[in-house]
């Protein structure tokens, strides 16, 4: 979903933090076995186009993500991973179904509320880093607070940059950093608002194996030490070993959920049906 995100040298509000759905919202807190689900998708579908030419990118996906967990979303190219992430993160609007984040239904939320939700309660990390090249490292990290009109305490950015191994580089520009360092800045930027969920789309995809492993360790630490919740899309099988849970998509359907045993295995038949275009 790289092309749908943002970069560039301007300081204009970043579309990462704006754009999409409308409708009502509803406050509902859910908890399963004492563990809160910070993210829930109920029968979420997303289709593009209509009639016989419609593409069913996501088909009736049910997922609950507990807080303080790292979930990896895998699947072949075109299986719906980016669509899943976009719908879950409120960057895209499902055709049907419900997305609940932190107990609030975001799938039908008014644009203004949704935009604020993305700014304050969701963190994003992309394969292409999406840092603003004209800003310093520190300014990039503080950007979500600035866009939200909140006080920007440089000490908060220093602390996060130290945590991701970049202390002393506050005044550098992204162009002066390696890919791995830029991704560290992006992670610090995602953490600055203490979001309920960090969504990462192939965060190691542009990095070599060793650097990718370091970035994955940082995300793992964010979960284990800072209580973050991370949902990431990846093609990298090495990631699955570090994830608490692995979801597999095929033809827009959830065909395996490591956290729920074989529950989705029966969906393989559905996936084949989806491939033939026999989707409800």
Contact residues: ligand ATP, CB under 6 A: 48, 55, 57, 75, 77-83
CB of 77 to ligand ATP, least distance (A): 3
**Residue placing its CB nearer to ligand ATP in the complex, 83 or 139:** 83
In sequence order, the 6+-apart residues with CB closer than 8 A to the CB of 8 are 132, 133
In sequence order, the 6+-apart residues with CB closer than 8 A to the CB of 272 are 251
**Residue placing its CB nearer to ligand ATP in the complex, 4 or 169:** 4
SS3 content of the chain, % helix, strand, coil (to 5): 35, 25, 40
What DSSP state is assigned to residue 267?
Answer: H
CB of 275 to ligand ATP, least distance (A): 10
Question: 61: buried, middle or exposed (CB in 10 Å: 19+, 13-18, 0-12)?
Answer: buried
CB of 73 to ligand ATP, least distance (A): 9
**Residue placing its CB nearer to ligand ATP in the complex, 59 or 186:** 59
State CA 70 to chain mean position distance: 11
Of 140, 115, 146, 137, residue with least CA distance to 16: 115
CB of 21 to ligand ATP, least distance (A): 15
**Residue placing its CB nearer to ligand ATP in the complex, 88 or 219:** 88
Contact 223, 195 (CB under 8 A): no
| Lookup: tokens for 119 | 């700014």
**Residue placing its CB nearer to ligand ATP in the complex, 161 or 233:** 233
CB of 179 to ligand ATP, least distance (A): 19
């Amino acid at each position: 979903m790289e092309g749908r995100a943002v970069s560039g040298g301007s300081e204009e509000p970043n579309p990462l933090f704006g754009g999409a759905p409308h409708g009502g919202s509803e406050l509902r807190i859910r908890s399963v076995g004492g563990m809160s689900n910070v993210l829930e998708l109920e029968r979420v579908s997303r289709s593009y186009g209509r009639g016989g030419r419609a593409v069913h990118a996501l088909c009736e996906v049910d997922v609950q993500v507990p807080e303080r967990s790292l979930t990896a979303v895998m699947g072949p190219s075109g299986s719906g991973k980016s669509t899943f992430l976009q719908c879950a993160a409120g960057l895209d609007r499902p055709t049907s179904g419900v997305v609940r984040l932190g107990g609030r239904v975001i799938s039908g939320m008014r644009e203004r509320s949704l935009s604020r939700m993305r700014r304050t309660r969701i963190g994003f990390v992309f394969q292409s880093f999406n840092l603003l090249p004209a800003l310093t490292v520190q300014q990039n990290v503080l950007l979500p607070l600035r866009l939200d009109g909140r006080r920007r305490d440089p000490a908060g950015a220093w602390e996060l940059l130290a945590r991701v191994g970049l202390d002393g580089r506050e005044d550098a520009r992204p162009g002066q950093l390696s890919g791995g360092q830029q991704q560290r800045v992006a992670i610090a930027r995602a953490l600055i608002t203490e979001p309920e969920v960090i969504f990462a789309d192939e965060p190691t995809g542009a990095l070599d194996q060793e650097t990718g492993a370091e970035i994955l360790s940082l995300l793992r630490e964010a979960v284990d030490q800072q209580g973050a919740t991370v949902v990431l899309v990846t093609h990298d099988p090495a990631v699955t070993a570090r994830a608490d849970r692995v979801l597999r998509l095929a033809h827009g359907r959830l065909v395996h959920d490591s956290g729920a045993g074989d529950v989705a295995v029966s969906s393989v038949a559905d996936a084949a049906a989806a491939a033939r275009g026999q989707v409800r």
